[in-house]
Structure 1
Amino acid sequence: MPHLGTNGFTRRNVLAAAAGAAGAVATGALVSRSEAAPNDSAAAPDIDLGHVAGEQSSVIEVVLPDRDELDRLVATGVDLDHQVNLVDDRLVVHAVISPNEGATLTAMGFTLGNVIYTPADAKARLAEREATIAGHVAANEEFSASATGRTATASDVKIIRADYYTQGTTMVLSVEAKWAQGQTATDTLTVERDSGKGTAIGSGGTQTISRFVDAGVYLYHRGAAQVTARPDYIRITSPTGGIAVAKVKEWLPTPGHDPEGPGYQKDFITSYLTPTELYDRIKAIAAEHPKLAEIVELPYKTNGYRRKAQAVFGSASASRVAVDSLAWGHEGGNSIAIEIVDPGGAGRPLSVSVTGTDIQVTLASDTAGAVTSTAAEVVAALNASPGASGLIQAYTYRGNTGAGVVAPAARTLLTDDLTAPASVSREPHPVYAIRIGKHRNGSKLGVLAYAQEHAREWVPPLVTIETAERLLRNYKHDWRTRELLDNLDIWIAPSINPDGGHYAFYDDNSQRRNMTNHCAPTGSADFLARDSWGVDNNRNYTEYSRFDGYSGASASCTSDTFSGPSELSEPENKNLDWLAARPNIKFAMNLHSSGNYFMWSPGAYAVPGRISAPRPTLAEESYFWSASSRILTSIKRHRNLAVTPARTGPISDVLYSAAGNSGDMLWYKYDIYAWNFEVGTSFQPEWVEAHDETMEFSNGLVELFRVARDFDKDRRSPKSKLKVSPSPTHGMVSVTFETNEPAAVYYTLDRSAPTYSSTLYGSAGIREGAETLTVRAGTTINWFSVDAAGNVEDDYRPGGHRRNYRTAKAILPRH
């Protein structure tokens, strides 16, 4: 259910500014936060698009005449990519659908267009990833083999790079080297430096470099350290006695306006990473930087990458028998077999026999020898058998009465139909975050970044890993990075939904949801529906959800936008709620793909009438836009990619309604400035594109940390002024306020002192900027402004005794 803030724009900023005026804050106006109350009947109907188990999905265009049809499409629960494009006066969106779902949509009157992305494309991405990993392994093996039995002049270590650079008055040496034993041995390498031309190696001191491992493959050792003199040569002696010497090169400085500065280290990812690999990676990073990072296991484990072993016998609904193992597939369910046999004679009774994990059902026959056992009778016999009921549960097909006669069936193994290797845990999975900062005790401003709510989105988790690496690798020698880690408490969760993430890698690349089966046995809980289960984690949160009557989520347990049986029903969502509840977290980024959108709340509306969740105030909206401009500029710096204004703004303005999304929970429930990246143009692009997307959006995520830091240290009060212009109404004038930064303006028209209970200057409309007030000429207007950090103009104390608020008469200026 929606939670309301304390008072409009003052949810986090004015509260700080008004510590001495708590009474005024408590009674502050809530006009911009007023809760819409749509009827629950506006929620999406329970629609089954008919995804057939085993069908693979593609990304296909759906061509729509207008936004009303977009809302109708969203209401079907169809799985939509985040592309909404205006083409020749029509909306073109991308749906992730199987052939049968496409036929259902066509029958409902929707027009399908071009096929954008196929299962074959996903297989190519996986093959590319495996080839990359195999190439690294082969290179390691070749290097190791070449070093075996080396001559006196050969070495099992080689120096790849030795770069010297300066940052202000700081001198830094960055070294990369490869050791033949680096795949298996975890030793660091020691680098000896000279202290300049003609000096002895060792005279400049030493530094260590450590292993860089990606997707389980050793790539090289690397590290950077401050030096007191520019070295000319370095030497590395490996633990096995190999020696390498290299001349140090000068690293070209980047332009002075580049916020990263000279020698800034980045580019730490080489392939897509599974959730297991993501967690291994952050654990390794934290272990290498124990003073700056730690791993936090979030409080709720997921259901796990696991399913019950199942089978469905028969071809017609009335005669089908569905069977589920009691044990998980990996815990014995996959070893259970069932055979349904013809009795081979007349007048035989229905019987069930069990030998080990083999169950045999012998069907009943009539006096003519014809089989007579119905599905309902077979189900009852299986469930009544002590041996069988200790292994399986049987039920008729999707609530059917089961009056059809069951046909014999050959011995069939039940299966969970999961294909991930044994290295992927089948147990309830811990979800991990890496917490980064010099002070990780809640005393510093908190920032949260999280990814992979949607399983198939493979690039966003890489952005989190790249960013964590940048923060920790650059701390020692980059003062800008050091300022961030010394003053922020950063939480990064690379995979919120590891079960779905593993399923997307190993079973179905189009998987969006988690893997939890909430379908009832009378519904789509059987083996033939196995590819349709799961909750859309980004529809299961508490604010403006389907349960509140908002659009963009489904009640169907087989829909790709299924919101779950209740708000926060899923452990993945409870984990994010736990993270957001950290009281010091004031900024957050949710990383998704795709579409190159950059968005914030509100993210939901109710239909009909498009009743939106409360919109940000003018000041809040201005702050979102100004911070977004900084972040998007950083993204553009990588390869000149511009996220367009049309794809920037509140989710429900630029995309579609997404009831129960996480951004709305963070904003409305926890007062967190929360943004949402939609990275790139596809879920699993070719690696060259995926790499570029990772680099540019990591730029943006680091810039968010800089935005947060600037917010935290902002002590400068805003400035405002009153502008008066002619009004078409006789005796009246038009009045607007202007501020030099995003700031709220509270004003009075009755000569009273303005407080936080006074009228809040608002917006003219959606994406329209500030409102224009129409007042009688000569009216005295008193006002003050307060910025996002809580700084009040001229140090005015609303509700206090000082009267240093701004005041002016609404009189037209003389020319």
Structure 2
Amino acid sequence: MAAAALLIAAVPAVASDELPDGGTALVQVHVPNEAAIVALAETFDVAEYKRVEADGTLTIAVDTTAPERAELRRMGLRIGDTIEDATSRAAAAAERDAQRAEDERAAAWAERGVPKSRAAVAPRGETVIQRVDRFTNYAGTFLYVEAHNKATVSTGPTSFSGPTLALSYAGADGVYSAATEVPRYIDIQTAPDTYMFHRLLVRLTDAAAKIPVSELTVRVASSSGSVDTGKAREWPGATLPPMAAGYQQGFFNRYQDPTENRAQLDKLAADFPNLVTAVNLPHLSPGYQRKAMGIVGLKTPYADQTSNQGSLGNVGDDPTQTAAIRATQALVVNTKAWGHEGGNTVSVELRTPAGPNAPLTVSVTGADIVVGLAGDAAGAPASKTADVIAAIRASAPASELVTVASYRGNDAQGIAQPTAKTLMKDYLNAPPHVQRGPFQQRVYRIGAVRDGSKVGVFFTCQTHAREWTTGLTCVETAERLVRNYATDPATKRLMDNVEVFIHANGNPDGGHLSMYDFAGQRRNMVNHCAFNDPVGRNQWGVDLNRNYTEYSRWDGPWVGASADCTVDSYSGPGEASEPETKNDMWIADQYPNIKFASNMHSFGGYFMWSPGAYMNDGKRTTSPAPNIGVEKYFFEAGEKILGRIKEFRGTVITPARTGPIADVIYSGAGSSADDHWYRKGIIGYGFETGADKFISTSEGTEQIPTGFQPPFGEAGPGQDPRLAHEGRGQAMEFASGNFGMIEAAYDYAMDTTPPRTSIEVSAPKTVGAPVHFKFNWDDEAGVIRYTTDGSTPTLASATYNAERPRGLGEVLTLAAPGVHEIKWFATDIKGNQSAVQTQRVQIGEQGSVGGTVPATLSLAITAGSFPPFVAGVARDYEATSTATVTSTAGNATLAVSEPGHLANGAFTLPEPLRVELAKTSWLAPTSSEDVGVTYKQMIKDTDPLRTGTYSRTLTFTLSTTNP
């Protein structure tokens, strides 16, 4: 079999004085001073780069030709390293072009399909679509796609390589849209980073949005040739019954602090004792209270500032007021009484020495402490801060009022400076209705039957203090359930059959602090740090959602909780160390009828469940992931919950933000969701209110974050007007979501039907090929257990699992010859179990079947083309083409005729053409195999070139001795 290839190269017709110079190189040039740079810039291409060397000389970058480099040397300048040259620049361009080709190939295959010769043949190929969701919200209609690519691999701690993925979609007409590249989703919290999958959110055009979802098909193609298609499904897909006319909602008109939340729920319990019981929790919170505190002894007085770095800061250009010096002078004072119990009336004054060589004295009048600083021979202050500390501690009256210490463990060897009378402060500014001191947390049991006989749903809100919308969500949920009981049949049905537990403020102390003193407060107010100074007053506290007992920081290298008391994810001094955590766990322990739970957070718009953490082990090992049948239940129940959220004002919690905590947001060791699921078997969810706001209703998928405290009403100063009324909207829509969770609990309570499942096999009988099979859920989710040896499966049998996190169900394989009986059953989340089913498959010779293959030797050659030859420049030119080989023979050989010389009419090049084949022989059949062909042509600077085109026809031969 022979084929011919035409090799061409164009030679530009240019005058000799227009011939381009050789490639330039960007090199380092070492110059003596700035003047030299200015002089060079007049005649050389000096880049905007300069580095000062240790000897005072300067290193700059200059883009130069070879003659220019020679000139620089003649000028006495030293040329250093080459930064870029023609080779490196060509490599960068080649890399760019190669990636462009990858991108274009993926896009073309997504739009037109992959050639059959390149299609994947495995049960599931290299690229697998994991989900295709279409949703419509207030801004438009969108398509969300996740696809996993097995060829994507890590190439370093933070880098990955793999093919480009692109997606396209079509309706029933089969006409696919223009392709869009699908980016990788990388988890950057792990070490090294972890590739999860590729994902993309696409806005559908008006025409595409009208395509029935049952007819919408997505195709994802890889530049490597793998392709997968998937049918879209509506998200969220649940059909929800409407509320009765006159349904009551909206039981707040502003953000409320924890005291106000509790008062509103207390009143609800008092007004409706037949539906609500308030239960005091056993552990009082430490309370919205602080010891009063202050800092004295500084030349420039402390001015109430805070610092995350713990620095007292420099003051102007005064060398005596550097942060280091101020730290040696600072005297930290804490009152022994709480601020509201007298600490705020205590004052400390450091007076100028009474005279030369005056002694250090301490006197106390009522709550006023006066320190007379010692004087030196000139009467200047001579008391070190350490001396003042010792003197106050030695004074019994002063020690009854205060404790004193150096600043952050400093040696306090600085000279204490006179300080005017300074009143100690607890820095708490809440209005009088907020009680100072321990706070009595309550859980409210809501339902027509509250004896523990009904399935329970447990809601906790505002575990993180700054998340203001969440407390409102719990209060609104309670109000809706109680106020609509008599008028809304759907509410009455739920209240008659489900018991609801509402813990509206899981972090009341931090909540009050965030409301009135430090809006960014996330944690509670307990100080476990070694320091107790006002500079760090906004750094204290425990992240209560890292303080639980399952898969916590203390259980191993679980990621997402800190041992640093100044960090917002600080998990405390030990598991369940905080009374707020103990209270939450007490509720789960005290009421075993609780089967569902949700811990409400903000912001971002998430709906999540366990696993909530993974290990820092380089493998991203998560806490045990639920079986795919359980996770399928989480999604199914979640769609009802998310549907209720959407119905209030069109907000859709996206599929990307729905799923296991560790997969869709980050690892959070020691969370409530993991405590509920792993310790108690409670179906534990985690909400994040505040879905990102879509800001375009016509194009793109642009979104903006809402923040922890978005405008409740109209936007005020410093607030984004696009977020007007966002705070109220978030609380209202997630209260609707809570209603959906209660509906899911009701469905759970009423469920007495076992799940229906089925099996798909690649073939019930094969001659010898393996049989591949997978299971399907036909009505509801369930855990599938199976055997393949004909034995009856039990609860100890193998379970059907997901291929990977958020992946599809695995494709299983039977390869041993013989008859196999696959038996399976399913158990739903309630525990209802189906009957055992059986599928018989047979692998092995069943009769005679065959076919013939005609002898085939096929060879196709693409043309190659050199870049333009340049006269007067010595260079090796290179061109490439492809030989596509198909052979059914036992062996085959590929050869090329003698290349000879390229010719341009009567003119030929002096140097012969060279041809190299990437592969020349085969010991087995092959089909449509691409073989690289490289053509090389040397041109000397003295070789004469004729304007026009040089070419030569070559003969390639594919032959065999074993047909």
TM-score range, shorter chain: 0.5 to 0.7
Please, which runs of 5 or more residues in structure 2 have no aligned partner? 1-182, 194-198, 203-238, 299-325, 691-705, 713-724, 847-963
Write the distance in 1 (CA, Å) between the matches of 2:710 and 2:668.
Answer: 24
Q: Is the 8 A contact 2:642 2:653 kept in 1?
A: yes
Tell me the secondary structure at the aligned position of residue 612 of structure 1.
coil
Q: Which residue of 2 aligns with 1:529?
A: 536
Tell me the secondary structure at the aligned position of residue 439 of structure 2.
coil
Residues 749-788 of structure 1: pairs in structure 2 closer than 5 A = 749-776=788-815, 778-788=819-829
Change (3 A) 1:355 1:257: closer
Q: Is 1:586 paired with 2:595?
A: yes
Q: Which residue of 2 aligns with 1:720?
A: 757
Q: Is 1:311 paired with 2:294?
A: yes
Tell me the secondary structure at the aligned position of residue 446 of structure 1.
strand
Write the distance in 2 (CA, Å) between the matches of 1:621 and 1:538.
Answer: 22
Q: Is 1:684 paired with 2:709?
A: yes
Change (3 A) 1:666 1:476: same
Tell me the secondary structure at the aligned position of residue 387 of structure 1.
helix
Identity among equivalent pairs (%): 45
Which moved further from structure 2: 773-782 or 697-706?
773-782
Q: Which residue of 2 aligns with 1:383?
A: 393
Write the distance in 2 (CA, Å) between the matches of 1:349 and 1:752.
Answer: 95
Q: Is 1:491 paired with 2:501?
A: yes
Q: Is 1:345 paired with 2:355?
A: yes
Residues 117-132 of structure 1: pairs in structure 2 closer than 5 A = none
Write the distance in 1 (CA, Å) between the matches of 2:602 and 2:667.
Answer: 16
Instruction: Give the structure with higher Rg (CA).
Output: 2
Residue 368 of structure 1 deviates from its aligned partner by: 3.6
Change (3 A) 1:650 1:728: farther
Q: Which residue of 1 aligns with 2:626?
A: 616
1:379-413 CA distance string (max 9 Å, x none): 11111110000000011111111111111111101
Q: Which residue of 2 aligns with 1:302?
A: 285
1:652 to 640, 645, 662: 662
Amino acid in structure 2 at the alignment position of 1:511: Q
1:641 to 639, 642, 651: 651
Residues 387-406 of structure 1: pairs in structure 2 closer than 5 A = 387-406=397-416
Q: Is 1:276 paired with 2:259?
A: yes
Q: Is 1:600 paired with 2:635?
A: no
Tell me the secondary structure at the aligned position of residue 793 of structure 1.
coil
Write the distance in 2 (CA, Å) between the matches of 1:551 and 1:438.
Answer: 42
Change (3 A) 1:314 1:811: farther
1:705 to 707, 723, 742: 742
Amino acid in structure 2 at the alignment position of 1:539: R
Residues 365-514 of structure 1: pairs in structure 2 closer than 5 A = 365-514=375-524
1:424-478 CA distance string (max 9 Å, x none): 1011001122110122121211110110001111111111111111111111222
Write the distance in 2 (CA, Å) between the matches of 1:729 and 1:466.
Answer: 65
Residue 728 of structure 1 deviates from its aligned partner by: 12
Residue 72 of structure 1 deviates from its aligned partner by: 8.1
Amino acid in structure 1 at the alignment position of 2:769: G
Change (3 A) 1:793 1:72: closer
Residue 257 of structure 1 deviates from its aligned partner by: 5.9
Residue 693 of structure 1 deviates from its aligned partner by: 1.9
Q: Which residue of 2 aligns with 1:52?
A: none
Q: Is the 8 A contact 1:746 1:783 kept in 2?
A: yes
Write the distance in 1 (CA, Å) between the matches of 2:192 and 2:379.
Answer: 53
Q: Is 1:574 paired with 2:611?
A: no
Residue 505 of structure 1 deviates from its aligned partner by: 1.1
1:704-728 CA distance string (max 9 Å, x none): 1010011011011111222111699
2:573 to 552, 565, 575: 565
Tell me the secondary structure at the aligned position of residue 412 of structure 2.
coil
Write the distance in 1 (CA, Å) between the matches of 2:753 and 2:201.
Answer: 46
Change (3 A) 1:719 1:811: farther
Q: Is the 8 A contact 2:766 2:842 kept in 1?
A: no
Tell me the secondary structure at the aligned position of residue 462 of structure 1.
helix
1:738 to 751, 776, 780: 776
1:7-44 CA distance string (max 9 Å, x none): xxxxxxxxxxxxxxxxxxxxxxxxxxxxxxxxxxxxxx
Residue 597 of structure 1 deviates from its aligned partner by: 1.0
1:468-518 CA distance string (max 9 Å, x none): 111111112222211211111110111111111111111111111111111
Write the distance in 2 (CA, Å) between the matches of 1:713 and 1:380.
Answer: 71
Q: Is the 8 A contact 1:724 1:811 kept in 2?
A: no
Residue 374 of structure 1 deviates from its aligned partner by: 1.2
Please, which runs of 5 or more residues in structure 1 have no aligned partner? 1-63, 75-84, 89-255, 795-804
Tell me the secondary structure at the aligned position of residue 616 of structure 1.
coil
Write the distance in 2 (CA, Å) between the matches of 1:291 and 1:360.
Answer: 61
Write the distance in 1 (CA, Å) between the matches of 2:593 and 2:489.
Answer: 24
Q: Is the 8 A contact 2:240 2:643 kept in 1?
A: no
Q: Is the 8 A contact 1:71 1:656 kept in 2?
A: no
Q: Is the 8 A contact 1:725 1:812 kept in 2?
A: no
Residue 369 of structure 1 deviates from its aligned partner by: 2.7
Higher strand share: 2
Write the distance in 2 (CA, Å) between the matches of 1:751 and 1:702.
Answer: 45
Tell me the secondary structure at the aligned position of residue 268 of structure 1.
coil
Amino acid in structure 1 at the alignment position of 2:740: E
Write the distance in 1 (CA, Å) between the matches of 2:644 and 2:653.
Answer: 11
Q: Is the 8 A contact 1:516 1:533 kept in 2?
A: yes
Q: How many equivalent pairs are there? A: 561
Write the distance in 2 (CA, Å) between the matches of 1:347 and 1:269.
Answer: 66
Residue 627 of structure 1 deviates from its aligned partner by: 0.6
Residues 233-248 of structure 1: pairs in structure 2 closer than 5 A = none
Write the distance in 1 (CA, Å) between the matches of 2:366 and 2:434.
Answer: 28
Q: Which residue of 2 aligns with 1:160?
A: none
Q: Is the 8 A contact 1:297 1:433 kept in 2?
A: yes
Change (3 A) 1:280 1:669: same
Amino acid in structure 1 at the alignment position of 2:709: Q
Write the distance in 2 (CA, Å) between the matches of 1:87 and 1:686.
Answer: 27
Write the distance in 1 (CA, Å) between the matches of 2:270 and 2:671.
Answer: 33
Q: Is the 8 A contact 2:793 2:824 kept in 1?
A: yes
Q: Which residue of 1 aligns with 2:860?
A: none
Change (3 A) 1:724 1:435: same
Tell me the secondary structure at the aligned position of residue 571 of structure 2.
coil
TM-score, length basis structure 1: 0.66
Which moved further from structure 2: 273-282 or 430-439?
430-439
Amino acid in structure 1 at the alignment position of 2:789: D
1:193-220 CA distance string (max 9 Å, x none): xxxxxxxxxxxxxxxxxxxxxxxxxxxx
Tell me the secondary structure at the aligned position of residue 303 of structure 1.
strand
Q: Is the 8 A contact 1:724 1:812 kept in 2?
A: no
Write the distance in 1 (CA, Å) between the matches of 2:767 and 2:383.
Answer: 86
Residues 192-207 of structure 1: pairs in structure 2 closer than 5 A = none
Write the distance in 1 (CA, Å) between the matches of 2:623 and 2:364.
Answer: 58
Amino acid in structure 2 at the alignment position of 1:762: N
Q: Is the 8 A contact 2:767 2:843 kept in 1?
A: no
Which moved further from structure 2: 318-327 or 472-481?
472-481
Tell me the secondary structure at the aligned position of residue 435 of structure 1.
strand
1:615-674 CA distance string (max 9 Å, x none): 111111111011111111111112221111111101111111111111111111111111
Tell me the secondary structure at the aligned position of residue 715 of structure 1.
coil
Q: Which residue of 2 aligns with 1:58?
A: none
Q: Which residue of 2 aligns with 1:665?
A: 675
Residue 810 of structure 1 deviates from its aligned partner by: 2.8
Residue 750 of structure 1 deviates from its aligned partner by: 2.5
